[in-house]
Amino acid sequence: MKETTSYLRKKILVLGLAKSGVTAASILHKLGAFVTVNDMKPLSENPEAQGLLEQGIKVVCGSHPIELLDEGFELIVKNPGIPYRNPLVKGAIERGIPVITEVELAYQVSEAPFVAITGTNGKTTTTTLIFEILKEDGKLPLIAGNIGTVASGVAENATSDETIVIELSSFQLMGIEMFKPEIAVVTNIYDAHLDYHDSKQEYIEAKAAVMKNQIGSDYFIYNANQEETMNMAKNSMAELVPFSTTTKHENGAYIEDNAVYFRKERVVNVSDIRLPGKHNLENILAAVAAVKLKNVKNEAIQHVLSTFQGVTHRTQYVATIEGRMFYNDSKATNILAASMALSSFDNPVVLLAGGLDRGNEFDELKPYLKHVKAVITFGEAAAKIERVAREAGISIVKRVDNVEKAVPAAYEISEAGDCILLSPACASWDQYKSFEVRGDMFMEAVHKLK
């Protein structure tokens, strides 16, 4: 861990626990700060808070009392999930108290450089690909951030020989001050999280923060097919590295002659890539650009791309049974994500969709249902999806109780050469604790067919 006196004897409030809050509080305590932790969950039901109390850290649980701000805190480290409209956060900002997320803390204690990935879709796939390729080439990568590992915990033990590959959400990026990755990647920008952000512009500005502190010796990798990301690039001080599936950019990554190129160098044949989907080609181009900037050998890229089948629950290949190919895209909790998954396949598709909608209809799915031969629905949104499927001319539309029953139902009406795709276009909470549980149930049902 990098020696820093930035937090020594500072009064700091860690707001919200979960994994990131616990780790941040512990690190700040080690760095000599006077730490207070505040979490909504009562202390009696909060083993994390109890553990911090045993370390000698002050704990306030059960509510977010606005009176805490009278204690003279010099900094607040906020859990990314707590919105800025929270009265305690709002009050801190009004008093001029800086509010950061633990990603900023991670940067300040890390000896290792960062490769940071953000965007609306494709973050996890791109992050995982960069990590796997760097690992294949022996570059000592570490993986952190929104992908599931607390950034400051990883950074605490990182060395200068390693590289932290970090997936970042807009929530995390709103709370940075000095964070500066040597390589920043923005995969794409679509409307998202507008229940958290006041506007799309605020969302875009949060994403753009990933490169706001970069300088000329850093790199900004961006999607050259999108106006929003191209506008970001205009404000970047870093060396610009575009990627595009449709246009040749000789200073970036692109597709030519059915191959992936980086700065005029042929890297890998598209036909050798295992990961399905046109949208995944964008993720691959972004990842290739990042690892080539880290001087990775083409052989490492070729090996990973020829074997990588996808991140769990994200258009993940599961199995082929009697010629039917099963794919788990449970992470598709909205129409946009399901549309991208559907556009990935040329084969006839049996679509498994449903769950908890957000009050929306599903008419935007219609253009992507042209090669869908059947739809199996489940969950609260079943009737809405069935209407759209019938209006799209799909003759086989069937409702079942849940994902587990959807798998054998889809198998019965499919034939060799078909893709059976779970891409719900809905949240999971009406029937499952999370999209991960829903995806696991799907995969278990597929393996039972064997």
pLDDT tens digits for 161-172? 999 999 999 989
User: Domains in the chain, ordered, with CATH?
Assistant: 11-100 (3.40.50.720), 110-307 (3.40.1190.10), 316-449 (3.90.190.20)
124 carries a ligand binding annotation: yes
- Rounded CA-CA distance 195/324 in Å is 39
Token duo for residue 311:
């991140």
**What Å distances lie between residue 60 and 31, 78, 107, 389, CA to CA?**
21, 15, 27, 51
> What does the pLDDT look like over 438-449, one tens digit per residue?
999 999 999 999
119 carries a ligand binding annotation: yes
- DSSP for 22-74, please give it: HHHHHHHHHTT-EEEEEESS-GGG-HHHHHHHHTT-EEEESS--GGGGGG--S
Across-strand partners of 243? 223, 253
Token duo for residue 37:
């932790």
Map tokens 């799309």 to a residue.
200
Question: Could you tell me if 372 and 394 are in contact, meaning their C-beta atoms sit under 8 angstroms apart?
Answer: yes
Contacts of 306 (CB under 8 A, 6+ apart): 268, 272, 273, 274
127 carries a ligand binding annotation: no
Question: Could you tell me if 217 and 181 are in contact, meaning their C-beta atoms sit under 8 angstroms apart?
Answer: no
Q: What's the average model confidence in pLDDT over 264-287? A: 93
Q: What is the amino acid identity at position 111?
A: E
Looking at the predicted structure, is the pLDDT value of residue 192 above 80? no
> What does the pLDDT look like over 18-31, one tens digit per residue?
889 999 999 999 99
Task: Please tell me the predicted confidence (pLDDT) of residue 311.
Answer: 82
Task: Please tell me the predicted confidence (pLDDT) of residue 198.
Answer: 64
> What does the pLDDT look like over 306-325, one tens digit per residue?
999 888 888 888 999 999 99
In 3D, which of 342, 338, 222, 329 has the Cα closest to residue 282? 222
Kindly report the backbone phi and psi dihedral angles of residue 129, in degrees, each rounded to the nearest multiple of 5, phi listed first: -60, -45
> What does the pLDDT look like over 121-160, one tens digit per residue?
889 999 999 999 999 999 999 999 877 689 999 999 999 9
Would you place residue 251 in the very low, low, confident or very high pLDDT band (cuts 50, 70, 90)? very high
Task: Please tell me the predicted confidence (pLDDT) of residue 196.
Answer: 54
Comparison of pLDDT for 179 and 312, the residue scoring more: 179
Would you place residue 411 in the very low, low, confident or very high pLDDT band (cuts 50, 70, 90)? very high
Report the range of poorest mean pLDDT among 123-137, 234-248, 319-333, 334-348.
334-348
Q: What's the average model confidence in pLDDT over 177-185? A: 97
H helices of 83-226, in order, are 87-94, 102-109, 123-136, 151-157, 170-173, 200-208
Q: What's the average model confidence in pLDDT over 224-233? A: 96
> What is the reported pTM?
0.84
In 3D, which of 373, 370, 380 has the Cα closest to residue 425? 380
Kindly report the backbone phi and psi dihedral angles of residue 102, in degrees, each rounded to the nearest multiple of 5, phi listed first: -70, -10
Task: Please tell me the predicted confidence (pLDDT) of residue 148.
Answer: 66
Would you place residue 336 in the very low, low, confident or very high pLDDT band (cuts 50, 70, 90)? confident
Task: Please tell me the predicted confidence (pLDDT) of residue 179.
Answer: 98
120 carries a ligand binding annotation: yes
Question: Could you tell me if 58 and 36 are in contact, meaning their C-beta atoms sit under 8 angstroms apart?
Answer: yes
5 carries a ligand binding annotation: no
| Average pLDDT of the residues of the chain | 94
Looking at the predicted structure, is the pLDDT value of residue 85 above 60? yes
